[in-house]
Each structure stands twice: as structure tokens, then as C-alpha cells.
């Protein structure tokens, strides 16, 4: 009988050891603990596999909950405790999984692999490091989510629809170095259909006088003709500070200033307010940067600076202009060489851009930065349990035109506003929005093609092309030292079918 050479037998033994080691690493990657189970470490293997099965069971249970009770699933997901627990578990499980890779390398008897033992060690270390670092990153993400949900979505709002609508007060607050206290310089209400998500945006000027407090309240008795003073200093943007000075008039409100602003806006518009969201303009640019910027069609040059600040440059007009956070902030807040009403228009342009361009992929890939920015700049009374419904409405509303009504001249005179006219206008615009929903529903019922029905029910302006990096105007500087001349003006019309028209070049 012919004998196998000793060299060939040794080489074959090293190859078998190498294959066995690779197999153990693959088994650990697919089912942590399985390598130990087949290699003799049954106790550790069984324990790890049970944990792995438990993780899958939890994931499948959550998916089933999301399928059967989406509201409950979102409530669980958005609760801060869920993410604090997850942040700890993912570190423990991740480091344990990394240890299993190293243990799989140990039990593969790397010395029997010859020179390949160093490659096997490198593979095990890479896999262990990848899992360990991934677990640390996932833990950091969970902590960011816990902080975001804990700080921002503390709850307290009213989830009951008001005549079939969800009305959200949006406040842009600014506590600049040149002013005492906080001023609510941007005041809007988004009235959203609770069925379709179709939205009408109402804007009130910061210099509105004679805004009403709710009947029977102490401040209504103090200001029977609305909030107004002889020196004309009693403006709508000062109501926040007034509420802070009179907390006793607003019961146990966590923020008397926002409670006062909410009450006045609700009374002036004739709308019940469900929630509020207040954005600190000082942190606004961080949010825009976290989203990767926004794109706008800019009608004319907008100064960076003005008032107490020196004008440092001008945001140039153009089509599909990419703005970073700093530029978007000044685009929204600049008053130099323009009116408050133009400023209101620019602010609505920014909001519209955020709604249209903050896609789920961007939010998912930049969540940690968004959480840090949002937690520092946004306060709201939206509870975590209501997020699911609001997200569904937002998703539905993204495909519909965002109508806008600004209470500015010539519709009203802010120093002598016709409050009854404001209320009639609000009711009329909501009725018009509801009629569009009713017409869309009739079209869907009348045709077998829902897609075609929805398209035919909407005006042509509802279709907005996605921005393209190759669009005209993107190759020139966004900011210049001088205001580039342009024939364009920012539209101050009180209503449009789609806000993208407002920001377009006239």
C-alpha cells in the first residue's frame, strides 16, 4: 500500500483546520453561540443561542404589533424608557457577540493552521471590532432618541380633532442679545385635515394689535378691546412675555408664555388649538445643517444682517439655490430693506422646503444630528402616542398643495385689524380646503383608477418637480458682497395653491 507523504498530510490538516475556523466564524455571524455548541462549549452555546432567539422573538413581536396596532407600536417606540433600555442592552449584547467571535477563533485551534493562523486572527478581530463598534454606535443612537423623545415629546396637547381638523400652533421664537426676554416673531397655525392631511397655513403678523384674549379671562378684562396700548407697544409678539409676567392667569401651564400666545391665537382665528411647536431661531440653523441644507427659488437678494447687526453680505437670487443653516436662518429672519409681510412669506418658503425636502432617507441617515439639533431648539406638547397619527397625516399631506393665508395688508391693517374678517377668512379657507378633499373623494369613487382620480382632482400646480443638482443658478455663489439686481419680488398674496410658487422668481 502506497503511503501518503508526510508533507501532504500536514498540509491537508492545516487546510481542514482553516476551513473549520472559517466555518466557526460564519456560524457565529449567522447564529451567535452555534460555533460553541458544535465545538464542545455547550453551556455557553445554548445560552447565547437562547439570547439570540429572544432578540428575534422581540423583533417579530414588535413587527406584529406594528402591523396590528401601529399606534401602540409607535407609542412604545417613542417612549424614552424603551430607548434607554435598548441603549444598555445593545452594548451588552454587542460586546457579548464580539467575545463569541474571539472565542470561535480560540476553539478553532489556530496554531494548527500554520501561517494562516495570522489571517484567521485578523478575520476574528475585524468581525469582533465591527460588531462591538456597531453596538456602541447603535447605543449612542438609542440614547439620542431617548433624549429627543424625552425632551421634545413630553405631551400635554389635545389629541381630539376640532371639527375634523388638527390645528398646530407654530411659533418661531427669538431671544436676541438686543432684546429683553423672548419674542415670538413668527406665528402660524397649520390646520390639517384629520382624514387626508391636506393643510392650510395661517400666518399672523408679529405687529398685530388688538388680538383678543379668551372671554372671561383676567387678561380679557384687562384688555377689553384686545391687546393694545396707547404707545402701540402691545403687539402680538409680546404676548409671550405678557404670559410669563402673569403665570397666575394660566393655571398650572408649564409655559405661561406659550399658553398666553396659544389662547390669543385661538381666539383671534376662531380655531381650537390641538398642539404647539416652538422653535428657537438660534438653533434653527443647526437643524437645517443636520438635514443637509434646503433648496429654494429666490426672487431677490436677501441681506445677511441688518438692524443692530451689520450687513455682511447678500443671499443672491436664483433658481434651486442650496442654502446651509446660517443662510436659511437669515433668509427667514432678515428685515433689512423689506417689510414684515415679505419676511412672513420667506418664512413660509423655508417651512415648505423643510416639509417637501426632509425625506425619510435623510432623516434616518442623519438622525443623531437631527435629534441633537431638535432637542436643543424645539419644545412641543405633542405626546409620543400621537406621533403615529401625525406622521401618517404628514405623509398623506406631502403629495397635496400646501395652501397659505397671510393676514397682512391689504387683507387687514395690523394696527386696526378686523377680527371678524379674520375669522370669516379662516372659516372660508378651511371650507375651500374641505371642498377639495370632497371633490377628490368623488373623483376616486367615480373612476376605477384612484391614481388618475387623485391627479385630476388636484390643480396643475400641485406637481412640483424634484430639485436637481444641475438646475440653473446652482453654479454661482450663494452669497455675494453686493445685492445682485433682479426683477423678481417675493409674492405677498394672501393665498396660493402651492407655496413653491411664492418662492419662485416672479
- The pLDDT tens digits along the chain (506 residues) read 455 566 577 788 888 888 888 888 999 999 998 988 888 777 888 999 999 999 999 999 988 987 887 767 777 777 778 888 888 999 999 999 999 999 989 888 888 888 888 888 899 999 999 999 989 888 887 887 776 666 666 667 788 888 899 999 988 776 554 444 456 777 889 899 999 988 888 988 888 998 888 887 788 888 888 888 888 788 888 888 888 888 887 777 778 888 889 999 999 999 999 998 887 766 677 778 877 888 888 878 888 887 666 788 888 888 888 888 888 888 887 877 777 777 777 877 787 777 666 654 555 445 455 455 544 556 778 776 777 777 778 777 777 877 888 888 888 888 889 989 999 999 999 999 999 988 888 887 776 555 444 444 444 443 333 443 334 444 567 876 666 766 666 665 544 444 555 565 33
Same-domain check for residues 104 and 190: no
Is there a domain that residue 389 lies in?
yes
Residues 93 and 197 reside in one and the same domain:
no
Q: Tell whether 82 and 197 lie within a shared domain.
A: no
Is 230 inside a domain boundary?
A: no
235 belongs to a structural domain: no
Tell me how far apart the alpha carbons of residues 366 and 292 are, in angstroms, rounded to a whole number.
Answer: 9
Per-residue pLDDT tens for 373-400? Answer: 544 556 778 776 777 777 778 777 777 8
447 and 338 in a common domain: yes
Is residue 448 domain-shared with residue 314, that is, in the same domain? yes
Confidence (pLDDT) at 21: 86
Biggest alpha carbon–alpha carbon distance for the chain:
118
Burial 21-41 (b: 16+ CB within 10 A, else e): bbebbebbbebbbbbbbebeb
Does 147 share its domain with 169? no
Residue 226 within any structural domain of the chain: no
pLDDT at 117: 85
CATH assignment at residue 372: 3.40.630.190
Residue-number span of the structural domain to which 130 is assigned: 6-151
Same domain, 374 and 448: yes
Give a yes or no: residue 217 inside a domain: no
pLDDT at position 427, please? Answer: 93
CA distance 221 to 214: 10
| Whether residue 374 is found in the same domain as residue 433 | yes
Q: What is the pLDDT at residue 488?
A: 65
Is 220 a member of any domain?
A: no
Is 401 in the same domain as 432? yes
pLDDT at 156: 73
297 near 503, Cβ under 8 Å? yes
pTM for this entry: 0.64
> Is there a domain that residue 158 lies in?
no
Alpha helix (H) ranges present in 5-41?
Answer: 6-30, 34-38
Q: Residue 374: inside a domain, yes or no? A: yes
Query: Is the same domain home to 140 and 172?
Result: no
Confidence (pLDDT) at 100: 92
Q: How many domains, in total, are found in the chain?
A: 2
- CA end-to-end distance (rounded Å), the chain: 97
Residue by residue, DSSP assigns 115-137 as GGHHHHHHHHHHHHHHHHHHHHH
Instruction: Please tell me whether residues 195 and 116 are part of one structural domain.
Output: no
| Residue 319 near residue 473 (C-beta atoms within 8 A) | yes
Collect all residues with Cβ–Cβ distance below 8 Å to 60 and sequence separation of at least 6.
Answer: none
Q: Which three cell numbers stand for residue 179?
A: 432684546
Contact assessment for residue 300 and residue 482, using Cβ atoms and an 8 Å cutoff: no
Predicted confidence at residue 288, as pLDDT, reads 81
Residue where one domain finishes, among candidates 85, 120, 151: 151
Q: Say whether both 130 and 170 belong to one domain.
A: no
Q: Which of 2, 400, 329 is nearest to 172 (CA)?
A: 329
Supply the DSSP symbol for 214.
Answer: P
Amino acid at each position: 500500500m502506497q503511503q501518503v507523504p508526510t508533507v501532504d498530510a500536514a498540509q491537508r490538516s492545516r487546510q481542514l483546520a482553516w476551513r473549520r475556523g472559517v466555518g466557526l466564524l460564519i456560524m457565529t455571524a449567522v447564529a451567535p453561540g452555534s460555533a460553541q455548541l458544535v465545538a464542545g462549549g455547550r453551556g455557553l452555546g445554548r445560552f447565547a443561542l437562547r439570547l439570540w432567539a429572544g432578540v428575534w422573538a422581540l423583533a417579530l413581536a414588535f413587527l406584529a404589533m406594528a402591523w396590528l396596532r401601529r399606534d401602540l407600536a409607535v407609542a412604545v417606540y417613542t417612549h424614552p424608557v424603551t430607548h434607554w433600555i435598548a441603549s444598555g442592552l445593545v452594548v451588552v449584547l454587542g460586546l457579548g457577540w464580539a467575545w463569541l467571535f474571539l472565542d470561535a477563533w480560540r476553539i478553532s485551534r489556530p496554531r494548527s493552521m500554520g501561517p494562516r493562523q495570522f489571517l484567521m486572527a485578523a478575520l476574528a478581530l475585524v468581525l469582533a471590532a465591527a460588531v462591538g463598534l456597531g453596538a456602541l454606535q447603535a447605543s449612542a443612537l438609542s440614547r439620542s432618541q431617548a433624549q429627543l423623545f424625552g425632551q421634545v415629546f413630553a405631551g400635554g396637547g389635545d389629541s381630539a380633532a376640532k371639527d375634523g381638523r388638527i390645528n398646530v400652533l407654530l411659533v418661531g421664537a427669538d431671544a436676541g442679545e438686543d432684546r429683553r426676554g423672548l419674542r415670538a416673531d413668527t406665528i402660524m397655525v397649520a390646520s390639517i385635515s384629520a382624514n387626508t392631511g391636506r393643510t392650510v397655513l395661517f400666518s399672523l403678523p408679529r405687529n398685530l394689535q388688538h388680538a383678543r384674549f379668551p372671554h372671561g379671562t383676567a387678561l380679557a378684562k384687562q384688555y377689553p378691546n384686545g391687546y393694545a396700548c396707547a404707545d402701540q407697544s402691545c403687539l402680538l409678539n409680546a404676548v409671550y412675555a405678557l404670559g410669563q409676567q402673569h403665570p397666575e392667569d394660566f393655571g398650572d401651564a408649564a409655559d405661561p408664555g406659550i399658553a398666553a400666545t396659544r389662547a390669543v391665537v385661538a381666539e383671534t382665528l376662531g380655531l381650537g388649538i390641538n398642539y404647539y411647536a416652538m422653535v428657537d431661531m438660534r438653533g434653527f440653523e443647526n437643524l437645517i445643517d443636520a438635514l443637509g441644507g434646503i433648496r429654494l427659488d429666490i426672487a431677490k437678494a436677501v441681506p445677511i444682517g441688518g438692524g443692530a447687526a451689520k450687513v455682511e453680505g447678500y443671499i443672491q437670487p436664483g433658481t434651486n439655490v442650496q442654502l446651509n443653516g446660517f443662510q436659511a436662518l437669515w433668509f427667514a429672519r432678515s428685515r433689512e430693506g423689506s417689510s414684515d409681510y415679505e419676511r412672513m412669506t420667506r418664512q413660509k418658503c423655508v417651512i415648505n422646503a423643510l416639509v417637501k425636502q426632509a425625506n425619510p432617507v435623510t432623516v434616518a441617515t442623519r438622525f443623531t444630528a437631527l435629534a441633537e439639533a431638535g432637542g436643543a431648539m424645539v419644545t412641543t406638547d405633542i405626546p409620543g402616542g400621537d406621533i403615529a397619527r401625525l406622521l401618517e397625516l404628514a405623509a398623506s399631506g406631502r403629495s397635496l398643495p400646501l395652501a397659505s393665508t397671510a393676514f397682512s395688508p391689504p387683507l387687514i391693517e395690523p394696527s386696526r385689524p378686523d377680527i371678524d374678517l379674520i375669522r370669516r377668512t379662516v372659516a372660508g379657507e378651511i371650507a375651500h380646503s374641505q371642498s377639495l378633499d370632497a371633490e377628490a373623494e368623488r373623483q376616486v369613487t367615480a373612476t376605477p383608477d384612484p391614481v388618475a382620480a387623485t391627479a385630476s382632482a388636484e390643480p396643475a400646480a400641485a406637481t412640483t418637480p424634484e430639485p436637481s443638482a444641475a438646475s440653473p443658478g446652482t453654479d454661482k455663489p450663494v452669497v455675494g458682497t453686493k445685492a445682485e439686481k433682479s426683477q423678481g419680488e417675493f409674492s405677498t398674496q394672501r393665498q396660493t395653491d402651492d407655496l413653491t410658487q411664492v418662492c419662485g422668481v416672479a
